[in-house]
Structure 1
Amino acid sequence: MVDGIAGLWGQVEAWLLALVDSAWALPTLFATTAADGFFPPVPGETVIVTLAVAAQEGGGVAWSLVLLVAALGAWCGDQLAYSLGRALGTRSLPVLRGARGRRTVAWAARALDRRGSSVVLGARFVPVGRTAVNVTAGAVGFSRRRFMGVSAVASVVWAGWSVALGMLAARWLGDQPLLAVAVGVVAGILLGFVVDRAASWWSGRRDAVARRRPLAVEPRPSDVEDGPTAPTPLVGCAAGPG
């Protein structure tokens, strides 16, 4: 078991080191960041952090190019996921068909209805969450124009964060580039977990507030002033969370 893991890590190590100075570095970066918008197992963050670490060490491609290509790839992947959801629904991707996937889609539908743009921004940092939100946005008819704009902002912020992680990790662990990559990737995963927990907590808090909100009642006659300036009674329910 240990030998198998060591052998797998050795292959990953060799691939990452070869990628840094390869002519395929930027095409690979674009392909992986685009693919993980609708297929979470693709290691988009890993490739970003690897190239950012190399850039900080003076090798590979410039960090500005890494940021630009990563953001473009992420945005294109988000649009493809949205289009899949629009055309085929949320069950178009195997990763969303299981029990956890269905729960995530249900959360995404509620969150898009209530928070719209903010959930698209936050979900970009959560691997399965961003897939669910992207596909669900298409399936429920979320505005394409609005999605494109918010996704662009989210992609730039996410790419910038991933590049910054790689550069900071390289600065602290410059003599161990592969360890710097591992630290950067783990930090990105932890951020995604924190964002996911925070979003769940906030959504639950909003639901609790909505359940506690009392219904508006008509004023009693004694509470209404006499005369033509008397206030108009309130009828119906108070508006729920927008």
Structure 2
Amino acid sequence: MFEQITPFVVELAASPLVFVVLFALCFVDGFFPPVPSESALVAIAAVAATSGEPVVAGVLVAAALGAIAGDSVAYWIGRRTGLDRLAGSKRPRIAAAFAFAERQMRRRSASLILVGRYVPVGRVAVNTTAGATRLPYRRFLAISSLAGLAWAATSIGIALAASSVLHEPVVAALVSMVVAAGLGVVVDRVIGRVNRRRDARAAARAAAVADTATAPRPAPRIVPTGETARP
């Protein structure tokens, strides 16, 4: 069934409906991995490179927006389900996988989300775990937006540059994962540096407040009045 989707999308290359279909594929693929969004994206980019239709910019926008929206659905599924139910699987391997994902999500969320976007099953697991661990949605959305845009741009770039492998989504996925890993390292380092500086400022403020609270107060000054104490 799903193997017929890519040829169908290619047939729509000259129609504006191709953007709607591509958006829908990338959207559903965000929480339902069997949908072949990568192969459809690479194939339609190949057609655009050779025939000029559809417009490459439109392909990029449709794919990126669909990917970002689909990843958000996976996030909210995890947020609603909760980590206890995800990690409480009766299968030890699945439970251990979610436990590992939770630890890694708290340490390097940017790397996981960026790299996971290029792995059909991995993206669903990572984004669901992000929601289950209650990673702030604003942060998730920012990283997911970068991941969706990078994924779409890299796949299209490979299709445009490597004409001999235009219809090989596996090649696109492998190269994209390398790019994503680099982006993840950079983003994690930037976020880590910002967080360390923020924590350092917060610690300095807390220390200043603590020093003020514990500082000894000066003894009250006694001013002599010249009066003698009465018995």
Q: TM-score, normalised by structure 1?
A: 0.64
Residues 13-32 of structure 1 aligned to structure 2 (within 5 Å): 14-32=7-25
Find the residue that maps to 1:20 and give its secondary structure.
coil
Find the residue that maps to 1:142 and give its secondary structure.
coil
Counterpart in the other structure of 2:65: 72
Counterpart in the other structure of 2:40: 47
Structure 1 gaps, min length 5: 1-7, 174-178, 203-242
Instruction: Give per-residue Cα distances to partners, 1:170-198, cap 9 Å, x unaligned.
Output: xx34xxxxx631x2x020243467689x8
Percent identity, aligned pairs only, is 38
Root mean square deviation, CA, Å:
3.3
Counterpart in the other structure of 1:187: 171
1:160 to 153, 164, 168: 153
Counterpart in the other structure of 1:214: none
Q: Structure 2 CA distance, aligned partners of 1:92 and 1:140?
A: 12
State the aligned residue count: 181
Task: Identify if the C-alpha distance between structure 1 residues 109 and 192 changes in structure 2 by more than 3 Å, giving closer, same or farther.
Answer: farther
How far did 1:99 drift?
Answer: 6.7
Q: Is the 8 A contact 1:21 1:59 kept in 2?
A: no
How far did 1:167 drift?
Answer: 1.3
Task: Identify if the C-alpha distance between structure 1 residues 98 and 77 changes in structure 2 by more than 3 Å, giving closer, same or farther.
Answer: farther
Counterpart in the other structure of 1:82: 75
How far did 1:45 drift?
Answer: 0.7
Q: Structure 2 CA distance, aligned partners of 1:47 and 1:98?
A: 34
Counterpart in the other structure of 2:118: 125
Task: Identify if the C-alpha distance between structure 1 residues 12 and 148 changes in structure 2 by more than 3 Å, giving closer, same or farther.
Answer: closer
Find the residue that maps to 2:135 and give its secondary structure.
coil
Q: Structure 1 CA distance, aligned partners of 2:138 and 2:72?
A: 11
Q: Which amino acid aligns with 2:105?
A: L
Structure 2 gaps, min length 5: 186-231
Q: Is the 8 A contact 1:71 1:155 kept in 2?
A: yes
Q: Is the 8 A contact 1:84 1:92 kept in 2?
A: no
Q: TM-score, normalised by structure 2?
A: 0.67
